[in-house]
Amino acid sequence: MIGCLVASLICGGHAQAQTGWLGGTQRSAPLGLGWKTLGGPVLWTDYVVHADWRIQKHVHQGHYRLLDARERRVASGSFEHCYQVFHQRRVSGQIEAMPRRIVILLHGLAGTRRLMGELGDYLNEQGGFYVINFGYASTKASIQELSVALENVVRNLDGVQEVSFVGHSMGNILVRHMLYRFQVHGNPPPIAFHRMVMISPPNHGAYLADTIGQSRLVQLALGESVDQFAPNRGWPALEQQLLTPYFEFGIIAGGRGNDRGYLPRVAGDDDGLISLQTHMLDGASGFIQVGGLHQIMPRYASTKAATLRFLQYGHF
């Protein structure tokens, strides 16, 4: 039973612009430069993303790496060193400029960028959207820490004037916490936020995080974020640090479309992890239930089509 829960959950500081706030004095490490990385997406978090080039931080070792568009390591060491190499490549024209309008995708808890890849390709091919697929070590850090990384990505979108978001599950909570940070600190970036699509958002926490989520196996697999989503544990404090988007947003839900759902422990309809009611958030411009399981929602054709419609027109 615990194994089934883990499977269902899977897939699911005051920041400043540029280089100054991250610090670090580690020197460049030449080992492996020019080689395609072996991946390790659950251990790396993006801090800068530009035209598929990425500066990422390792969650345990604390050092950074610069990857090119083919996932080859170009530089390694401190953030400042990686950013300097990246900046030189960009101003020399080796890295293409980004358009004025983009869409940022965010995967969910224990997921990776791969989960959102098909959706990103669809939005690009069918709607002409320029997509950035944000990756983060969701099981190794708190919502607060991860939202700082997202904020740094947003602040370093050189030339971009308008951003829309598409989040799956926990990815939506990162955006909401980032917006809260902007409000509290009063220093939003000079970028307009256009629209947001929330796919399977746990906008009111997750009941299972209070029950099965407290098992040692689940805690080891999914990290401290589990407690942050637990209504009787960390969720009340986290919810106070979440801002409802002040721009157009729509919600896409899975589930079975009846009053039973997939899980007997969850009241009413559910998507195999969270209840239909948990998705809801006052102020939404639209809501649609396409059906399906929480962990693979971004891969359904109906989810892709609904996401595209909302990004294009502001409704489903």
H/E stretch holding 217 reads helix 216-222
The burial of 202, by beta-carbon neighbours within 10 Å (0-12 exposed, 13-18 middle, 19 or more buried), is given as buried
> Which residues in the chain land under pLDDT 70?
1-41, 213, 218-221
pLDDT digits (tens, 9 = 90+) for 120-160: 999 999 999 999 999 999 988 999 999 999 999 999 999 99
In this prediction, residue 148 carries a pLDDT of 97
In this prediction, residue 17 carries a pLDDT of 34
In this prediction, residue 1 carries a pLDDT of 30
In this prediction, residue 219 carries a pLDDT of 65
In this prediction, residue 211 carries a pLDDT of 78
CA 47/CA 134 separation, integer angstroms:
9
In this prediction, residue 6 carries a pLDDT of 36
CA 36/CA 232 separation, integer angstroms:
44
Question: Looking at the domain 2-12+98-313, which fold is it?
Answer: Rossmann fold (3.40.50)
In this prediction, residue 292 carries a pLDDT of 97
What six digits make up the tokens of 274?
């969270």
